[in-house]
A = this chain, B = another copy of it.
Amino acid sequence: MLVLVAAGTSALRLTLPITLAIAGLLVVLVVSYCQVIAVHPDGGGAYAVGKKDLGATVSLLAAASLVVDYVLTVAVSLAAGAARLASAFPSLTHHMLAMCLIGLALITAVNLWGIAESARVLMLPLVVFLSAIFGVIVVGLVRSHPAAVVGSAQPVHISEALGAIVILKAFAAGCSALTGIEAIANAVPTFREPRARQAQRTELMLGALLGAMLIGLSVLIHREHVAPRGGVTVLAQLTAGSFSTGWAYYATNIAVTLVLALAANTSFGGLPVLMSLLSTDDRLPHLFCLRAERPVYRYGVLTLAVLATVLLIAVNAVTERLIPLYAIGVFIGFTISQSGLVRHWYGRRSPRWAVRAALNGTGAVLTATAAAVFVASKFTSGAWMVVLTVPALMLLFSRIQSYYRAVGLELDLGRLPNRPLPAKSLVIVPVGSISKLTEHALHAALSLGEDVIAVSVHPEAKQSAAFRTQWDHWNPGVRLDTLDSPHRSLVHPIVEYVRQAQQGHRQVAVLIPEVQPRRWRYRILQNQRGLLLATVLRASTDVVVCTIPYRLNTR
C-alpha cells in the first residue's frame, strides 16, 4: 500500500480495483497450488514440480529462489512484527533489530525442539488474529467515522511520478500478500495423514481467508482515506479507527505481531524440508538429511536462523528494504510451479487437461510479469542481491552434485567390489601412566589385535627409563616402546611411530582411552590430548583410530 500512497493521492483511488485484481490472482494461485499438492504429495513445491517436469536447470532455479525466499520470509515477517509492536509501544521504536533477533532466537529454539510442538504453540495467536482483523473490518465498516487517530502527522514523502510503472509496482507489491500460500505446498510431508487432502484443505481455507481480509481492509482504507503516518503502520491506524486505543487496540497489535512470528515460522517448517530434499538429490551436503533424537532437520533449522540473522543485521530490520527482494524470489517460485504444471497437464493429456493448463498458464504469465517488474524496478535498491544470490546458489548446488557423482564413481557405487579378506593386526595404545585406565585400554586392545604395543612419550631419557622400570614391575604382558620428545610435543612422536608401524602389510589400529566424567561441565578437563592425537592421526595416516570410554563414577 505504501507504494501506492507514496505515488500521490491520485493513485489512491486505484487501491480498490487493484485489490480486486490481486484477489483474482489469489483465486488462480490457490486453485493451481491445490493441483501442485495433488501432483506432488511429497512436498517440495516449486522444486518438486521443476525437477519432475522442467529439467535440472529449472529445478535448480526453483530451489535457489525458494531458499532465498524462505530466508527473506523470516526476515520480512520478523521486521514487520517488530514494526507492529513498536506501533503499539512507541518506546520500542529504537530497538527494532534487537526485537527481531530475540524473536528469531525464540522461533529457532521452538523449531529445534520439534515442528509438531511449534504448530501447537502458535495456533492460539492465529485464532485471535483472525477474529481481530475481521473485527477491525466489520466494526470499521459499521462506524460512521474513525474512533481514534494514532501516529504523528509527519508527512510521508510524496512522489509525483505516476503512470504504468507505479500501477504495476502497486500490483506487484500487493501480490506479496499472497506468498503465504506457497509455504504449504512446500511442506506437505509435515501434515497429518491423509497428507495431500489435509494440505489442500488448509490451502483453500488460507486462500479464502487471505482474499476476504485483503478485500475488506482495502475497502476500509478506501472509505476512510487512510494515508501513511509517522511511527505507526497502516493496519494500526485502521485498528485504532475501529477499536479506538483501548485494550482491544493493544490486543490486536500483539496478535498481529504473533501471527507475523507464525509467518516466520512457516519458513522453519519449509526450508529444512526443502534442504533435506536437495541433499537427497546430492545437491546439498548430506548433513541436511540427518535427524538425531527428534524428527527435526537441525542443520537446516540452524542454517536458516544464521542466514536470517545476517540478513536482518544487514538491512537493520527495515521492512521496506526487504519487501522487493522478497517478492522476486516468491514470484520466480510461483512461475516455475505454474509452468511445470502446464507441462505436466500437456504431457498427460488427461481429461480437461486444456482447462487446467490454461489456468496454470495464466498463473505463470501473471507471476512471471510480477517477477520481471520487481527485478527491473528495484534493481538498484536491493534486487541485485537476489539477482546475484540465485545463480550463485544454483552453481553451488550443481558443484556439490558433481562432487558426489565423482565420489560415487571412485567408490564404484553400484558395482560389486572384491570380497574383503582379513589381515594380521597390530593395535598401538598410547599410555601416559599406569592406572585403571591403562588396564581398561589394554584389555580392549588385547581383545581386538593379534599384536599389541603400548607407547609412551617422555621429554627426557631419564623419565623414559623410570617409566619402563615401573612398567616391567607391573608386567602387563604387553610390549612397551618409549619415545623421546625434547620439544615436549606428545602428538608428533606417536604419529611418526604409527607411520613406521604401517610399513608392513598389517592392519594398524591406534586405541585411545578417554576418561568420561559423569557431568558435562568436566568434559573440558579431560581427553583433549586424545582428541588432538585422534584428529592428527585421522588427517595424516590411514590407520584405524579407536577410542574407548572409561566412565567415572564420582565426578
Contacts and interface: CB of A to CB of B under 8 A. Distances in A.
Contacts of A516: 538
A384 to B, nearest CB: 27
Contacts of A506: 447
A506 B443 CA distance: 11
Interface string A476-495: 11100000000111111000
B292 A491 contact: yes
Nearest to A475: B419
Contact of A400 (B412, B423, B525): B525
A447 B433 contact: no
Nearest to A528: B287
Nearest to A288: B528
B292 A536 contact: yes
B439 A291 contact: no
A435 B416 CA distance: 7
Interface stretch (A249-257, A332-340, A401-409): A401-409
Interface in A467-511: 473-478, 487-492, 506-507, 509, 511
Interface stretch (A116-124, A176-184, A312-320, A546-554): A546-554
Contacts of A487: 291, 295
A421 interface: yes
| Chain B CB within 10 Å, residue with most, of A417, A418, A514 | A417
A292 B533 CA distance: 9
Is the contact region of chain A dominated by helix, strand, or loop, or is it mixed? mixed
Q: How large is the interface on A (under 10, 10 to 19, 20 to 34, 35 or more residues)?
A: 35 or more
A193 interface: no
A524 interface: yes
Contacts of A489: 291-293, 295
A466 to B, nearest CB: 13
Contacts of A437: 411
Nearest to A511: B544
Given A419-B475, A436-B412, A447-B423, A549 B542 contact: yes
| Chain B CB within 10 Å, residue with most, of A413, A435, A478, A555 | A435
A215 to B, nearest CB: 42
A542 B553 contact: no
A444 interface: yes
Contact of A425 (B286, B414, B448): B448
A420 interface: yes
A509 B448 contact: yes
A507 B445 CA distance: 9
B287 A552 contact: no
Contact of A435 (B412, B444, B477, B517): B412
| Chain B CB within 10 Å, residue with most, of A436, A490, A492, A511 | A436
A434 interface: yes
Contacts of A474: 416-417, 419
A501 to B, nearest CB: 14
A404 B526 CA distance: 9
Contacts of A552: 407, 410
A297 to B, nearest CB: 10
Contacts of A291: 487-489
A392 interface: no
Interface string A239-272: 0000000000000000000000000000000000
Contact of A285 (B511, B525, B545, B546): B525
Contacts of A532: 290, 292
A411 B514 CA distance: 12
A227 interface: no
B417 A443 contact: no
Given A403-B522, A552-B410, A544 B444 contact: yes
Contacts of A448: 425, 427, 448-449, 507, 509, 544
| Chain B CB within 10 Å, residue with most, of A424, A506, A545 | A545
Interchain residue pairs A-B with the least CB separation, the first 6: A287-B528, A447-B507, A422-B446, A420-B442, A417-B439, A546-B546
21 contacts: A285-B528, A287-B524, A292-B536, A295-B487, A295-B488, A295-B489, A400-B525, A403-B555, A407-B517, A410-B555, A412-B436, A416-B434, A419-B477, A420-B443, A420-B445, A420-B446, A421-B446, A444-B507, A542-B548, A542-B549, A544-B547
Interface of A: 285-287, 290-293, 295, 299, 400, 403-404, 406-407, 410-425, 427, 433-440, 442-449, 473-478, 487-492, 506-507, 509, 511, 514-517, 522, 524-526, 528-529, 532, 536, 538, 542-555
Given A403-B525, A424-B447, 13 more contacts: A286-B525, A290-B491, A290-B532, A292-B536, A406-B554, A407-B515, A407-B526, A407-B554, A417-B438, A542-B548, A542-B551, A545-B548, A546-B547
